[in-house]
Amino acid sequence: MSTALHNQIKDALHLDVVRSVPLSGGCVGDVRAVELSDGSTVVVKAGGHQLDLEGWMLQYLSDHSALPVPQVLHSAADLLIMSHIKTSGGINGEVERDAADYLAALHSNTGEAFGLNRDTPIGGVRQPNPFSPSWIIFFAEHRLLYMARNAYTSARLPAALVSRIEILCGRLDTWLSEPEAPALIHGDMWTGNVLCRDGKIAGFVDPAIYYADPEIELAFATLFNTFGDVFFDRYAEHRPLNPDFFEVRRDLYNLYPLLVHVRLFGGSYVTSVEQTLQRFGI
């Protein structure tokens, strides 16, 4: 840890740094567990950008839901300090049921429109969140089209695929319907953002929040096999699933996180996007 970062932490918390250990999950900035002079341990993210937005999102979740998230101790554009969440073990059936309870409760928090009162990042990439009364229009314009064009500008997605996504967006109402209400979602629901301890959820980290159709969150939770049947059976006890979620809607919604990964990494994710478009006859 640099002297400058040491001093930033001391200025923020009025405590000295005793030692620090690198943690995984440093897609945006360097992440460390930092032991302080009073014996406590905090998690520090530094060297990234828009870390103040991550702090704001964690605080928003804390203020508007019962979702367990780290407590924000200090938040600035280049430095985020959070409470440390102890973990043990990975995702099993008990964790999936616990996660289903938490996410169903989260999704019961509704807003007046889709979007949010500020833009949010996902994996360091901007998510525009202008309020919209229509989910289908919001999903088309501010998720699929925005991220596809962003990926094209970054030389990660061919123009031909952007054109095919534009065609798909003109037909979304063939497969999607407007949800009952805009639901608050975590927005980046994959294994690395789910913290477990003793067969329970210990916390959720790295959010990318906005008000959405909660099915986009459920879809994302299957993209990298984060949650499976145990989770969905439990979730459905709280909030019934659309009959064609797994057969149709899941693949449409997962096109968005695939485009995010194209924008970030390119490579095989481009093939996955093309396969999804073929799946819907585009």
Question: Which sequence positions are flagged as catalytic?
Answer: 188
CB distance 133 to 114 below 8 Å: yes
CA 74 – CA 90 distance, rounded (Å):
28
Please tell me whether residue 143 adopts helix, strand or coil conformation. Answer: helix
Half-sphere exposure of 8 (CA within 13 A, CB side): 19
CB distance 81 to 43 below 8 Å: yes
CA 31 – CA 186 distance, rounded (Å):
20
Torsion of CA 82, 215, 265, 22, to 10 degrees: 20
CA 136 – CA 165 distance, rounded (Å):
14
The residue type of 13 is: L
CB distance 260 to 253 below 8 Å: no
Please tell me whether residue 42 adopts helix, strand or coil conformation. Answer: strand
Edge-to-edge strand list for the sheet holding 41-46 = 17-22, 30-36, 41-46, 79-83, 72-76
The residues that bridge with 125 in the sheet, in sequence order, are 122
